[in-house]
Amino acid sequence: MKWSAEAEKTMRRVPFFIRKMVRKKVEAYAASAGAEIILNEHIEACKKQYMKQMDRDLRGYSVETCLGAQECSNRTLGQTNIADEIEEFLKGQKMKEFLQERLGRPLKVHNEFRVSISFCPNSCSRPQIVDVGLIGAVVVEPSEQDDTCNGCGACAKVCKEDAIVLDGSDVKILRERCLYCGHCERVCPKSAISRVDEGFRILVGGKLGRHPQLGMELPRIYAPEDALLVVKEVVRFFKKECKKGERLGEIVSSMGFEAFLQQLNLP
């Protein structure tokens, strides 16, 4: 289908990563309207239709995962249903009704309570900028047996954080640098580094908008069943403290992270 010069110009302002999808939608809309050439008015009408649809589809919450939920070689932990369990929990919380009542108006997409899960520190689903972000983590330790490591250096080479210090066959992991990705365990040919724990790091209060902020990290790594309890506890807190539909990040920032932690009954 042909596009007018003005419509092409408008499309150049659409972010590149959604441009192809938008083009398809506009073309489908224009075709259904019997148009032979796409004009700016088709883009506008399509946009309005899309926004209307989006408002109708709002549920008051969203749960996203990175592709590691299916398959990714970087994934840190074994199979877990945590995304489905969080989804199920939020569904029962009637978040849309709750937020609309607090806001005193229909919900917009930026008002939704958002959860994002990434299964490794690469954080492809951007858990740092949502209300609750989960990042898959594996805790590794060097073997306690002196003769296991052969000093090959593969672990130090693969660690992007420079968190491994090798002195011959003596391995040390600098905990303050480690991001719990588990790569060192995977590459070690002698099983001289092993996983001693796995679960999720949890960030709370991230958001974009007028005053963007990154989520603040809770103090430890939570096993999947505990991570679900943390999400439930954070939602309980949010529903108690949210008076006018403000985002969790605003509430946590105004009371201070330490005071927020004290109000949570964490596992």
Interacting residue ranges for ligand SF4, rule: CB under 6 A: 66-68, 72, 74-75, 118-120, 122-124, 140, 149-155, 158-159, 161, 163-164, 166, 171, 173, 178-184, 187-190, 192-193
For residue 22, give the 3-state DSSP assignment: helix
Minimum CB distance to ligand SF4, residue 81 (Å): 16
Point out the residue whose Cβ comes nearest to ligand SF4: 68
Minimum CB distance to ligand SF4, residue 73 (Å): 7
Minimum CB distance to ligand SF4, residue 194 (Å): 10
C-alpha–C-alpha distance, residues 258 and 260, integer Å: 5
C-alpha–C-alpha distance, residues 90 and 96, integer Å: 10
3-class DSSP string for 44-91: HHHHHHHHHHHHHHCCCEEEEECHHHCCCCCCCCCCCCHHHHHHHHHH
Q: How far apart are the first and last CA of the chain?
A: 58
- For the chain, helix, strand, coil in percent to 5 are 45, 20, 40
Q: Which is nearer to ligand SF4, 124 or 216 (CB)?
A: 124
Q: Which is nearer to ligand SF4, 73 or 262 (CB)?
A: 73
Q: Which is nearer to ligand SF4, 11 or 166 (CB)?
A: 166
Q: Are strands 132-142 and 164-167 parallel, antiparallel or unpaired?
A: unpaired
Q: Which is nearer to ligand SF4, 99 or 227 (CB)?
A: 227
DSSP letter for 39, please. -
Q: Which is nearer to ligand SF4, 27 or 141 (CB)?
A: 141
Minimum CB distance to ligand SF4, residue 127 (Å): 9
Minimum CB distance to ligand SF4, residue 105 (Å): 35
Q: How far is CA 97 from the centre of its chain?
A: 24
Q: Which is nearer to ligand SF4, 71 or 258 (CB)?
A: 71
Minimum CB distance to ligand SF4, residue 139 (Å): 8
C-alpha–C-alpha distance, residues 142 and 266, integer Å: 29
C-alpha–C-alpha distance, residues 70 and 15, integer Å: 27
